[in-house]
């Protein structure tokens, strides 16, 4: 049985989310520059790179490699970021040698997609393996406290002539946020499911895998993390 992300991040996803903009991506990469890198930083991995907007910003500064599972998104990424290299693969089994990168980034909540936490831990273990000692890992995730306070259960809008319904809920065990996207015109439905991690849980996984968490922010403007922050951005240094 395939997992939800294997079928969702394709042509329908691209059509329904055309608003992901390069300016936001640039702000994220500027934060990484501003905080400063430990390690060489000459080779950078954009983990779960999607359609390449962060990889494009990264490739203007360093030698960038993007990895994603979606062939559709990788095709767009190669057009978006022609100076970067792209590889199709599963983030739980990275096809790179030990210590290959001075910087690894996982941006815009491209984490938490798996049913079991062992798989999430496996991802960060793989990141640690391919990050050189003294190198940097940046994990950019949603802020669970903010999401719980601002969750919109239902909205409806027209995109490209189609009526799109979105229903959001927290799973009964409180561990996942679930979004169901229904294309009313043709009765198709897709599901997104993301594990809700607290900052301390993410920090613990990073520490157990070999990273010292050196900085935490609540948004790309380097503001401190509070309950009102939209994001949790962790910087880790590989021991």
Average pLDDT of span 218-229: 97
**What's residue 185's pLDDT?**
76
Q: What angle do CA 24, 179, 76 make, to 5 degrees?
A: 45
How many Å apart are CA 153 and CA 92, to the nearest integer? 31
Q: Is 139:111 a contact under the CB 8 Å cutoff?
A: yes
Angstrom CA distances, 202 to 71, 104, 117, 160, 210, stand at 28, 16, 11, 37, 13
* 27 Cβ contact partners less than 8 Å away, ≥ 6 residues apart: 220, 221
Position 189 pLDDT exceeds 90: no
DSSP character at residue 163: E
Position 1 pLDDT exceeds 60: no
Most confident of 5-14, 32-41, 169-178: 169-178
**What's residue 2's pLDDT?**
65
Q: Which of 87, 20, 75 minimizes the C-alpha distance to 53?
A: 20
**Whole-angstrom distance between the N-terminal and C-terminal Cα of the chain?**
37
Average pLDDT of span 72-81: 93
**What's residue 40's pLDDT?**
60
Position 42 pLDDT exceeds 70: yes
3-state secondary structure (DSSP) of residue 14: helix
**What's residue 38's pLDDT?**
64
Give pTM, 2 decimals: 0.94
Lookup result for tokens 């229904």: 182
């Amino acid at each position: 049985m395939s997992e939800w992300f294997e079928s969702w991040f394709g042509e329908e996803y691209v059509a329904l989310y055309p608003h992901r903009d390069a300016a936001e991506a640039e702000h994220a990469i500027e934060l990484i520059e501003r905080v400063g890198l430990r390690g060489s930083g000459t080779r950078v991995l954009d983990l779960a790179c999607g359609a390449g907007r962060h990889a494009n910003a990264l490739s203007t500064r360093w030698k960038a490699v993007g990895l994603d599972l979606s062939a559709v998104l990788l095709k767009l990424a190669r057009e978006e970021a022609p100076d970067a290299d792209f590889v199709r693969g599963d983030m739980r089994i990275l096809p790179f040698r030990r210590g290959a990168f001075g910087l690894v980034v996982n941006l815009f909540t491209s984490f938490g997609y798996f049913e079991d936490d062992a798989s999430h831990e496996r991802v960060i273990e793989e990141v640690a393996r391919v990050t050189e000692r003294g190198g940097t890992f940046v994990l950019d995730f949603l802020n669970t406290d903010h999401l719980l306070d601002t969750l919109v259960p239902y909205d409806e809008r027209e995109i490209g002539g189609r009526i799109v319904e979105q229903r959001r809920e927290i799973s009964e065990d409180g561990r996942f946020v679930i979004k169901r996207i229904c294309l009313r015109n043709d009765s198709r439905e897709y599901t997104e499911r993301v594990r809700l991690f607290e900052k301390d849980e993410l920090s613990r996984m990073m520490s157990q895998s070999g990273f010292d968490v050196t900085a935490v922010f609540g948004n790309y403007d380097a503001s401190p993390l509070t309950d009102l922050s939209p994001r949790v951005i962790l910087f880790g240094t590989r021991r």
